[in-house]
Structure 1
Amino acid sequence: MDWDKLRIFHAVAERGSLTHAGDVLHLSQSAVSRQIRALEESLNVTLFHRHARGLILTEQGELLFDATTAMVKRLDATAARIRDSEDEVFGELRVTTTMGFGTLWLAPRLARLYETYPALKIDLMLEERVLDLPMREADVAIRMKEPSQADLIRKRLMQIKMRLYATPEYLAKAGMPTTMEDMSQHRLICQHPGTAQVAAGALLVAELMSHDVPSTLHVNNYFGVLQAVLNHLGIGVMPDYITEDFPHLVRVLPDVESGEVPVFLAYPEELRHSKRVSAFRDFVMDEIIEFRRKHEQ
C-alpha cells in the first residue's frame, strides 16, 4: 500500500476536509482528491461519505484510520528515540497525571526541572482518564494505582492517604469536631462517592456521609476541593501531600484517614533510553526523596 496515499488519507480523515488537509500537506485540493480516489480504487472501497459539512469516514475508512493512527504514533515514537540519541535533553515530553496531583504537587515543582533543562518542552495533560502509553497518547504517566497496560516500565514513587483538613478561620467559627458523629454539624467538601477517583478516597467519603452530614460541596477534582477549603467553606477530604505547600491548614479528626494509595510512574518500554524521560523520572524521584525527608522531620 502506497505510504504517500496513506499519509494523505490520514490528514484528510483527521481534518475532515480536502482543503484543510491540502493546506497542511502543501498540496492543492484537486491533488488531494485524486490521491484519495486512487486509494479507494486500489482498495475497492469507499473511505469517505461526502457531506455538505465535510467528509465523514465510512466503516472501512474508520478501520483504515485506526491503522494509520497507530502507524503515525509508532513513527513519532521512533523519531523521539532518534532525537534522544543526542546528549542534550530537549524537545517535547508529554506527561499525564490526575488533576489533583498535577496541579497541587507536580506543577509547583517543575521550575527546578526547567532550571536544569531549559530546552525541555513539557505538555502536561491533567485528566482522570487513563491515557494509552503504548499507543503514545502520552510519554510518561503518574497514576494513583499500578498501570495494567503491558510493555510498560513502572516505578512505585510513594503512597498517599486521604485526610480531613480545614482552615483555622472555619474551625474558629464552626468548631473543631472531635468524633465522626460531629461531622453532622459541618459542611463536607469532597468528590462525590460515585465519581472517578481512587477507591480509598471514595470509601472514606462514603463513611463520612453515613454520619448525616447536613451540607456538602462536591467537586470533581482535589484542586477544586482545596480552593473551597482555603475559602473557609467547610472541611475537605484531600490527599496528605497538600500539607507541604499549605502548612496553615489544620488536620481534622487525626485518627480518620483512608487506606494507602500507591503512586506509580510509568512509561513505554520503547522509551527506556529516552533522555527526556530519564531526566523527568530522575527529577520526580529526587523530589519524592525531598518530600519524604520533610515529612519525616
Structure 2
Amino acid sequence: MDWDKLRIFHAVADAGSLTHAGETLHLSQSAVSRQIRALEESLSTILFHRHARGLILTEQGELLFDATKSMSHRLEAASARIKDSAEEVFGELKVTTTTGFGTLWLAPRLPALYEKYPDLNIDLMLEERVLDLPMREADVAIRMKEPSQADLIRKKLMSVRMRLYASQAYLEKAGPIDKIEQIGGHRLICQSPNAFQVSAGATLVQHLLAYDKPNLLHVNNYFGVLQAVISDLGIGVMPDYVIEDFPDLVRVLPDIESGEVPVFLAYPEELRQSKRIMAFRDFVQDEIISHRRKIREAGSIIA
C-alpha cells in the first residue's frame, strides 16, 4: 500500500474535510481528492461517505484509520527517540496532569525549567481524564494515583493529603470552627461527587457530611475550590500543596485530614532514554525537594 496515499487518507480522516486536510498537507483540494480516489480504487472499497457538511468514514474507512493512527503514533515515538539521541534537550514534550496540580503546583514552577532548557517546548494538557501514554496521547503524566496502563515506567514523587482551609475574612464573618460538630454552621466547598477525584478526598467529604450537614458548594476541580475559598465563600477541602503559594489561608480543624494520596510520574517504556523526559523528571524531583524543605522550614517557624 502506498504510504503517501495513506498519509493523505489519515489527514483527511482526521480533519473530516478535503479542504482542511489540503491546508495541513500544503496540497490542493483536487490533488487530495485524486489520491483518496486512487486509494479507494486500489482497495476496491469506499472509505468515505460524502456529505454537504464534510466526510464521514465508512466501516472500512474506520478500520484503515485505526491502522494509520497506530502507524502515526509509532512514527512519532520513533521521531522522539531519534531526536532524543542528541545531548541537547529540545523539542516538544507533552505533559498531562490534573487541572488542580497543573495549575496550582506545576505551572508556577515552569519558568525555572524554561530558564534551564530554553529550547524545550511544554504542551501542558490539564484534564482529569487519564490519557493513554502508550498510544502517545501524552509523553509523561503526573497523576494522583499509580497508573495502571502497561509498559509504563512509574516513579512515586511524593504524597499529599486533603485538608480543610478557609480565608481569614470568611472565618471572621461566619465565626470560628473548633470542632467537627460545628461543620453544619458553615459552607463546605469540595469537588463534585460525579467529578474525577482522588478517593481520599471523597472519603474525607463523606466523613464531614456524617455530622450536621453543611451548606455545599461543588466544583469539578481543586483550582475552582481554591478560587471559591480565597473569595471568602466557605471552607474548602483541598490538597495540602496549595498552601505554599497561599500562606494567608487558615487551616481549619487541623486534626482532620485524609489519608495519604500518592503522586506518581509515569512515561512509556520506549521513552526511557528520552533526554526531554529525563530533564523534566529531574526538574520535578528537584522542585519537590525544595517544596518539602519550605514546608519543614515553615513548620519550624510556627513551632
Specify the TM-score bucket, using the shorter chain as the normaliser: over 0.9
Q: Please state whether the residue corresponding to 1:138 is helix, strand or coil.
A: coil
Once the two structures are TM-superposed, the CA of residue 120 in structure 1 deviates from its matched residue by 1.1
TM-score normalized by structure 2? Answer: 0.95
Aligned to 2:225: 225
Aligned to 2:98: 98
Give the aligned residue type for 1:10: H
Moved more, 59-68 or 91-100: 59-68
Once the two structures are TM-superposed, the CA of residue 149 in structure 1 deviates from its matched residue by 0.6
Once the two structures are TM-superposed, the CA of residue 29 in structure 1 deviates from its matched residue by 2.3
**Aligned residues with identical type, % of pairs:** 76
Q: Deviations over 1:98-118 (max 9, x none)?
A: 000001110111111111111
Tell me, in whole angstroms, the C-alpha distance in 2 between the residues paired with 1:75 and 1:142: 24
What are the residue-to-residue correspondences of 1:70-85 with 2, within 5 Å?
A: 70-85=70-85
Give the aligned residue type for 2:254: P
Aligned to 2:10: 10
Tell me, in whole angstroms, the C-alpha distance in 2 between the residues paired with 1:127 and 1:158: 20
Q: Deviations over 1:74-98 (max 9, x none)?
A: 1111111111122211111110000
Q: Give the conservation status (yes or no) of the 8 Å contact 2:182–2:212.
A: no
Tell me, in whole angstroms, the C-alpha distance in 2 between the residues paired with 1:101 and 1:166: 19
Tell me, in whole angstroms, the C-alpha distance in 2 between the residues paired with 1:171 and 1:24: 55
Q: Please state whether the residue corresponding to 2:212 is helix, strand or coil.
A: coil
RMSD: 1.2
Q: Please state whether the residue corresponding to 2:194 is helix, strand or coil.
A: coil
Q: Give the conservation status (yes or no) of the 8 Å contact 1:193–1:203.
A: no
Moved more, 276-285 or 200-209: 200-209
Aligned to 1:295: 295
Aligned to 1:115: 115
What are the residue-to-residue correspondences of 1:207-286 with 2, within 5 Å?
A: 207-286=207-286
Tell me, in whole angstroms, the C-alpha distance in 2 between the residues paired with 1:223 and 1:7: 40
Give the aligned residue type for 1:72: S
Q: Deviations over 1:23-65 (max 9, x none)?
A: 2223232222222122222222211001011110011111111
Q: Please state whether the residue corresponding to 2:248 is helix, strand or coil.
A: coil
Tell me, in whole angstroms, the C-alpha distance in 1 between the residues paired with 2:287 and 2:199: 26
Q: Give the conservation status (yes or no) of the 8 Å contact 2:189–2:218.
A: yes
TM-score normalized by structure 1? Answer: 0.97
Once the two structures are TM-superposed, the CA of residue 190 in structure 1 deviates from its matched residue by 0.7
Tell me, in whole angstroms, the C-alpha distance in 2 between the residues paired with 1:258 and 1:23: 52
Q: Please state whether the residue corresponding to 2:121 is helix, strand or coil.
A: strand
Give the aligned residue type for 1:69: K
Tell me, in whole angstroms, the C-alpha distance in 1 between the residues paired with 2:144 and 2:237: 16
Tell me, in whole angstroms, the C-alpha distance in 1 between the residues paired with 2:23 and 2:244: 50
Gaps of 5+ in 2: 298-303
Q: Please state whether the residue corresponding to 2:255 is helix, strand or coil.
A: strand
Q: Please state whether the residue corresponding to 1:218 is helix, strand or coil.
A: strand
Tell me, in whole angstroms, the C-alpha distance in 2 between the residues paired with 1:103 and 1:141: 14
Once the two structures are TM-superposed, the CA of residue 152 in structure 1 deviates from its matched residue by 0.7
What are the residue-to-residue correspondences of 1:148-227 with 2, within 5 Å?
A: 148-227=148-227
Tell me, in whole angstroms, the C-alpha distance in 1 between the residues paired with 2:12 and 2:231: 49
1:135 to 2:135 alignment:
yes
Tell me, in whole angstroms, the C-alpha distance in 2 between the residues paired with 1:49 and 1:93: 36
Aligned to 2:52: 52
Give the aligned residue type for 2:224: G
Aligned to 2:125: 125
Gaps of 5+ in 1: none
Tell me, in whole angstroms, the C-alpha distance in 2 between the residues paired with 1:192 and 1:254: 23
Q: Please state whether the residue corresponding to 2:23 is helix, strand or coil.
A: helix
Moved more, 23-32 or 156-165: 23-32
Moved more, 268-277 or 173-182: 173-182
Tell me, in whole angstroms, the C-alpha distance in 2 between the residues paired with 1:162 and 1:248: 18
